Chains A and B, each alone.
Chain A
Amino acid sequence: MNGFVWIDIVLFTILAATAVGLARTRQLFAAAMLSGLFSLTSACIFVLQDAVDVAFTEAAVGAGMTTVLFLGTLALTRSREKVTPPRRSIPAALIAIFTGGVLIYASTDMPPFAAADTPVQQHPLTQRFLDDSMTEIGVPNVVTSVLASYRGYDTLGETVVVFTAAIAVLMLLGRGRPATSAEPKPREALPQPIQHDQRVLRVVSKLMLPFILLFALYVQFHGDYGPGGGFQAGVIFASGLILYALVFGLDAARAAVSPAALRRMVPLGVLIYAGVGFATLLLGGAFLDYNVLDAHDPAHGQHLGILLVELGVGITVTAAMLMLFYSFAARGVGR
């Protein structure tokens, strides 16, 4: 028993309370905020379990981006939830209990938490990733090595998932409201330029914005040495611009970064990533084999490859997140 156990207990208590709270409340706004809190607390747990990259992403994506999207939707729908009838809740409870029961049953044969002799720690993968990656790839952040090189193909898939979501939302919400709408009066969009005296907000946002964008760039390019990488950087970059849109209005944001530019950037990032794959094919290697990018120094090739694919990820994620925000925000304006 050490101090970490107590932090664990406190965090898990907060998590459980948040989960119960968001399950019980019928105010959707409160539920959305609690879900953000839930993500943030789970990010703390990830830090305790040494998953700093995951914690970073969960905080930026789960607590940040997802909450923004929920609020955008709530601003467009403004609904309150009805009481759940028992005909739905009883089977749901049975299914949930059964699933949980199976998992508890499964956990009884799972290796003890944090033990050193678990199959996961004993597998040859561990040694390869933790010991050999420094010579094979030479990037101190092993998560980045595994993410962008050993399992670079998964990450390509993941970038494609973001791309898919962006074009799917563009397809669904792309061009303003349809003429035949069940609700005739257009709702207020989320980022109206705030009418009253907002000097404080404007000044502070202007002050902060360069630093947020700079931090995003730092996260993008420092991902080899510390937690971070294209995903986190993309989300931070996008959230900086979302802040700008919230304070100065959607039109100002669209003047700064136009939707047309975003529509080119989203596929561009995927093209860069996949392009690296095809380039390595043409250079005579396997798909995404960065070693061939530099004929003399494979480790340098790996560096170059990781830099390029992270750039692709960063571009797609930034543009996709911003595009999602624009799509939701513009929906209420009714143009």
Chain B
Amino acid sequence: MIAHLPILQVALPLLAAPLCVLLRSARAAWWIYLLASVAAFGSALLLASSVATHGPLHYAVGNWAPPFGIAYVIDAANAFVLVLVSGIAVATAIYAPRSIAAEIDPQRVYLYYACLCLCLTGLLGIVATGDAFNVFVFLEISSLSSYALIALGKRRQALLAAFRYLVMGTLGGTFVLIGIGLAYAVTGTLNMADLAQRLPALYGNRTLTAAVGFVSVGLAIKAAVFPLHAWLPSAYAEAPSAAGVFLSATGTKVAIYAFLRFAFGIFGAGLVFGHLPMSALILIVGTAAMLAGAAIACYQDDLKRILAWSSVGQIGYIVVGLGLASQQGLSAAFLHISAHALIKGGLFATAGIVALRLGTTRIDALAGLARSAPAVFVALLLGGLGLIGVPLTAGFVSKWALVMALIEADQWAVIAAVLLSSLLALVYVGRIIEVAWFREPPLLADTAQPSTPAPMALAMWGLVGVSLVAGVYAAPLSRAATAAAAALLGTAP
């Protein structure tokens, strides 16, 4: 059975989507989505433990040996991301029903769950595959479903945000397609392992250099890396809360993972970071991202928008980590991928609860939240501390690892930028806390707020709680991140 797990954890959510549509019932669709994500999470955990003990798993779809068919390869790196993505999907499933009932037309709820299943399928497919073109196909499944998930936001701005995301995302996807095509032109193969074997002979080939460029730019658009981030803030801020939780925690992370896979598993670190000046470029871009994202977040007056802009900044940390291309840098990147996914997922969950209780997420409306909804406020506070990187949070663990990696690489300017951006995070988190804690609520707000539904609170505390546990008891996560980095670099841990 374990032999088929690599395909099952993608195929089960895939099977779930048409079932949701066929049954046409919101309740049944939720159960299907829940079961599919739990099944995916379970298989991901089993896979991760199997990979940790027995080494990488290979699976040939259709029993066509690679490079003739499509192969799945699970190693410590993608097992890490698989567990993360499917875990967030479970949290979203717990969170979703009440939030969706409040935000989505009841006639469309079953379609909405089908879209969530599809988005999960796409993301897991990107992570698990060992075939370059297969990445593109699943990238488009996840992208198309996320456009739809975002477009159903309550305000009309959601439509515009989804459209802009669609245009940018399609350009990004097509850039990836061009890059894969150029690599195919000079090798004749699409299998990642086969490509990796043939490419070193071609270092210096101009077609290959351009392929690296196109894939990098395409995935940078999908990951919203700083100058190409324009679609992200309004897309995540306008999305319905449940989609916001899921996408903010997984979407950009998977794109970054895909870049890591292309850089280390296909093109090879020797080409991307040795032959081409990508390392310096990535460090500059990452530094700019963490400063600009955090700075702009300070000027927003909507909770979800602050969180979305903060994501732009936080992606900068991950990018800086991978730009170092060292064992430490990569483990810091993996740590921050997981830490930020948990924290930002938790914070978007909190923002969704705020939206449900107050009917808005505007920052002035938060006044008095600390008294009217202390639990929500505490979650917001803890998540915010994680964003800043205060000790005993997961954010601290990953930032500490990043700073250590930067010290090792003698990148003092970047370290200064990390500290500055943390200060900026203090400013925007502080603003939220200040309003919610100290400012008097307007008299109108005393009218009865709906209470927090228990499943939503559970999901919120689940995400925030796991991020706190990971901050206090950091060893397992660090170990997994180290193993993931080692798997990418090809050095046995």
Contacts and interface: CB of A to CB of B under 8 A. Distances in A.
A and B touch in the complex (CB under 8 A): yes
B188 A167 contact: no
Interface string A134-164: 0000000000000001111110111011011
A263 B24 CA distance: 9
A274 B14 contact: yes
Contact of A288 (B61, B112, B141): B61
B186 A158 contact: no
Given A121-B188, A122-B188, A278-B11, A160 B134 contact: no
Contact of B115 (A107, A108, A168): A168
A109 B137 contact: no
Given A125-B189, A281-B4, A271 B18 contact: yes
Given A168-B144, A287-B11, A106 B62 contact: no
Given A106-B182, A152-B62, A270-B17, A157 B137 contact: yes
Contacts of A158: 137
B377 interface: no
B242 to A, nearest CB: 14
A264 B20 CA distance: 11
B115 A171 contact: yes
Q: Which of A107, A161, A266 has the most CB of B within 10 A?
A: A161
Given A109-B206, A128-B68, A171 B186 contact: no
Given A151-B69, A286-B61, A287-B11, A157 B19 contact: no
A172 B151 contact: yes
A281 B3 CA distance: 11
B184 A106 contact: no
A193 interface: no
A334 interface: no
Interface string A169-211: 0111011000000000000000000000000000000000000
B114 interface: yes
B11 A274 contact: yes
Interface in B36-64: 59-64
Contacts of B114: 167
A287 B108 contact: no
Given A168-B144, A172-B148, A274-B11, A106 B209 contact: yes
Interface string A250-266: 00000000000001101
B207 A109 contact: yes
Nearest to B144: A164
A290 interface: yes
B211 to A, nearest CB: 7
A226 B67 CA distance: 26
B111 A277 contact: no
A174 B148 contact: no
A4 interface: no
Secondary structure call for the B interface:
helix
Contacts of B209: 106
B189 A161 contact: no
Contacts of A123: 187-189
B134 A157 contact: yes
A111 interface: yes
A122 to B, nearest CB: 6
Given A120-B184, A150-B68, A270-B17, A164 B63 contact: no
A21 interface: no
B238 to A, nearest CB: 14
Nearest to B205: A109
Contacts of B76: none
Contacts of A151: 69-70, 133
A77 interface: no
Nearest to B140: A161
Contact of A154 (B14, B15, B137): B137
Nearest to A302: B62
Contacts of B67: 124-125
Q: How large is the interface on B (under 10, 10 to 19, 20 to 34, 35 or more residues)?
A: 35 or more
Interface string A109-139: 1110000001111111110110000000000
A103 B59 contact: no
A288 B152 CA distance: 35
A114 B261 CA distance: 31
Contacts of A163: 17-18, 118
Interface string B147-179: 110011000000000000000000000000010
A160 B14 contact: yes
Interface in B128-152: 133-134, 137-138, 140-141, 144-145, 147-148, 151-152
A267 interface: yes
Contacts of B186: 109-111, 119
B148 A111 contact: no
B115 A161 contact: no
A151 B53 CA distance: 31
Contacts of A277: 7, 11
B210 interface: yes
A249 interface: no
A287 B62 contact: yes
B107 interface: yes
B373 interface: no
Given A123-B189, A154-B134, A165 B144 contact: yes
Nearest to A158: B137
Nearest to A274: B15
A6 interface: no
Interface in B63-95: 63-64, 67-70
A102 interface: yes
20 contacts: A118-B185, A119-B188, A119-B198, A123-B188, A128-B68, A149-B62, A154-B133, A157-B125, A160-B141, A167-B21, A168-B151, A270-B17, A274-B11, A277-B11, A278-B15, A286-B62, A286-B63, A287-B11, A287-B59, A287-B62
Given A109-B205, A164-B144, 14 more contacts: A103-B210, A108-B206, A109-B186, A125-B67, A151-B69, A152-B62, A154-B133, A157-B125, A160-B14, A167-B21, A172-B151, A174-B111, A266-B21, A291-B63
Kindly list the 9 A-B residue pairs having the minimum CB-CB distance in the complex, ordered from nearest: A123-B188, A267-B18, A106-B210, A168-B148, A157-B137, A289-B63, A109-B206, A119-B188, A286-B63
